[in-house]
Amino acid sequence: METQIGLSLVYEALRRVNQIRPPEAQIPEDPDVVLLGDKGLLDSMAVTVLIVTLENLLREKTGQEVSLLQEADFEVLTEQFRTPRVIAELIAGSTH
């Protein structure tokens, strides 16, 4: 899957995350907004919603089960989900 398509899926998932967030805490659709790590905008509930939503969207689009959580290590998870651009690259690599 192309990175640009992955990015559109990330934005779709972020729109779902924004549905559970107050208006003043909405996540912008910006490829470089920091989601996790230092200055990250997502809490653990929002991260869970984001990952589950992305995996469901990928299953709908590809017909395959895709697990985006390959590592249990928090530092690796933080890097893999740091920004929408990084997530889109992860998706592109996971759906070959």
- List the domain boundaries for the chain: 3-94
Query: Over the stretch 11-51, which tens digit does the pLDDT of each residue have?
Result: 999 999 999 999 999 999 999 999 998 899 999 899 999 99
Report pTM.
0.86
CA dihedral (22, 24, 25, 30) positive or negative: positive
Task: Work out the percent of the chain whose per-residue pLDDT is above 70.
Answer: 92
Helix or strand (DSSP H, E) at 85:
helix 84-94
The correct CATH number of 3-94 out of 1.10.1200, 1.25.40, 2.60.120, 2.60.40 is 1.10.1200
